[in-house]
Amino acid sequence: MTTKTKDASLVSTKISTGYFCPITHQIIMTNCPFCNLEERVIASNDSANVLLSNPRKTAGHALVTPKRHVEKPWELTNKELQDIFALIWDVEQKLIKAGMGDGVDVRQNYRPFLKQSQLSVDHLHFHVLPRTLRDYIYSVSEKYDTELFADLDDTERAEVTKLLK
């Protein structure tokens, strides 16, 4: 007779603890760096914060986060979405006006398969990256990006279109 036991390595070890803040009326996750920003916040509105990314990919690389601990982008309220994008557009214009970039990338990575680390924080955030044609990202990475593109075939087009319609 065999006994089935759960493989401990397959059980999620992610333990999150939090507490309710009576001032902001939000759950603060104690192990989340973006719930505990304190002096890192450089701008904010009702429901979102701006901070500088550390580490950063380009000078001026900023992050815009909801104040509330949200991990899945589709869990944002309409108010949070409005506040987040108001800050994104504000930061974007200031960075361009200051000459820190000729353009800006806005990017949100949802990658729950990565373990939280200094380079991967579960608390939803949008990267705002000032860009120029000759910045470091182009020189080490994006100049090779053309090799990533493949022609879209008809079967894939039909399948993905059906899925997303």
User: Which residues contribute to the site for Zn ion (CB under 5 A)?
Assistant: 29, 32, 34-35, 69, 123
Pick between residue 61 and residue 69 the one whose CB is nearest to Zn ion: 69
Distance CA 94, CA 32 (A): 28
Residue 46 or 156: the one with the smaller Cβ distance to Zn ion is: 46
Which residue, 28 or 81, has its beta carbon nearer to Zn ion? 28
CB 31, min distance to Zn ion, A? 9
Toward Zn ion, which CB reaches closer, 18 or 94? 18
Contact indicator for 43, 84 with CB cutoff of 8 Å: no
Angle at 128 between CA 126 and CA 133, to 5 degrees: 140
Count of all residues that appear for the chain in the document: 165
For residues 93 and 50, what is the distance between their CA atoms, to the nearest angstrom? Answer: 14
